[in-house]
Each structure stands twice: as C-alpha cells, then as structure tokens.
Amino acid sequence: MIACRLLLIALTAVFAAGAAQAELAGDAEAGETLYGQCKGCHEIGKGAEDRIGPHLNGLFGRRVASHEGFAYSASMQRAGVDGLIWGFDTLDAYIENPRALVSKTRMSYRGMKDAQDRADLMAYLRRFSASPANIPEAAPTARGTDHTVDPAILAIQGDPEYGEYLSSECVSCHQADGSSDGIPSITRWPEEDFVVAMHAYKDKLRPHPVMQMMAGRLSNEEIAALAAYFKDLD
C-alpha cells in the first residue's frame, strides 16, 4: 500500500511537470502576429536580408554580433566578444528590455513586457533555425520570469562619493578617462543603464565570469553609488 502511494505521488509529480512544461511552450502562430512589431527592422524566412537590423534566420545558438556582413554597434560587438549567445534565456531578457543585456544598443524597441508574448515570439523565431528539432520548445524561464529590474532598485539614489570609494576595483580594468581601448567604457552611462547591466551580470544573463563575480558581491546600494559616480565622470 505504501509503495502504491509513493508510485502515485511520483506519477502525479511527473504529470504535473509535463503540464508545466506544456504551459511554458509558446504559440508560434501567435508569435507570427507579434513579429509584426519586429519586421520594420528585421526580415526572417526565405530570402531574408539585412535591413536596419540583421535578418533573424538561424538566430538560436548564434553568438551575438557574429552575423557576417552586418555593421553592429560597438556595444553589441563587445557583448559578442564577452561570449553572449542567443538562446531562450538571453532572447527572453533582450526582447523584454534590450538594454538589460546591451545597454547602448542601437535598437530603439522599448521591449515586450508580457512573458507569454515573448514565449510565443520565440516559438515563431525557432521555426527559422537551421535545426529547430534540436531546440527546446521553451526554456524554464520563457514564461513567468520578469527580467526587469525592480523599480524600487532603480529608484535608489546613489551616493557618488561612496561610488568613487568603491570604484577602485572597476578602474583597475576600465579606464577612468572613458577610453575603450580593449575594454568597454563605463563612464557617462545613464544610471538606469548601468544598474540594469550590473543586474544582468548578477542574473548571469551577461556572460563575463569576472563581472558576474564582481556584480554578485555588490549590494543594490553599492551598484547605485557606482552608477551615480560613473555617470558624471569625464
């Protein structure tokens, strides 16, 4: 009797997990409609060409800024050098808020806030991968995850003097004069962009392991202080 109950519990858990996974899957037909928000800049499908943005065929599994022949922004190129790969997690974050991953992206899109809409759009984009059968229907984060930084965190008023005190580790790599010779500049960023980028490292969406470690050690108040300091640093 006990064994039967344990088996029943196990089967219930399996079916629940399967139902949850099914719920995560996006609707490609709905995603095709949502793609209307993208097609002014990006083409997809047979014969697709680059426009204002690169075409989106074969997007999944591709390193950021690696599509040959397209003139990416310096910020996007740095993200690619940093090791950023387009997958469900990273696309989910980028579609929701492009500046969550690439703070100085040229893409002017304000973001798709509804998690199910993003899952649907990615299900549509998946159709145009070279090997769609090898790409999961949806990642565990494709629905129900909000990559937007909490407004209460963005509202923290950073102390630039404290930020200057904390900045010594930053400027051991980044140039205080704003130059970007071999490493991206972090001066004169809008504070929100700086905070969003640091939280993307905390969440391991931005892939640089040293920055993930550094961001992981910082409190919200310390990140705000650094953002306030670097914002006005000439």
Q: What is the pLDDT of residues 220-232, one digit of tens each?
A: 999 999 999 999 8
pLDDT of residue 25: 63
Q: What is the pLDDT of residues 78-87, one digit of tens each?
A: 888 888 889 8
> What mean pLDDT value characterizes the chain?
81
pLDDT of residue 147: 63
Residue 186 domain boundaries: 151-231
pLDDT of residue 137: 60
Q: What is the pLDDT of residues 184-214, one digit of tens each?
A: 778 888 888 889 889 989 988 888 889 999 9
pLDDT of residue 13: 41
| 184: CB partners within 8 A, 6+ apart | 74, 75, 78, 174
Cα(215)–Cα(108) distance, rounded to whole angstroms? 26
Residue 220 shares a structural domain with residue 169? yes
Cα(234)–Cα(226) distance, rounded to whole angstroms? 14
Residue 125 shares a structural domain with residue 175? no
Which of the listed residues 88, 103, 134 is the one where a domain comes to its end?
A: 134
State how far the alpha carbon of 104 is from the alpha carbons of 14, 15, 140, 144, in Å: 43, 44, 28, 26
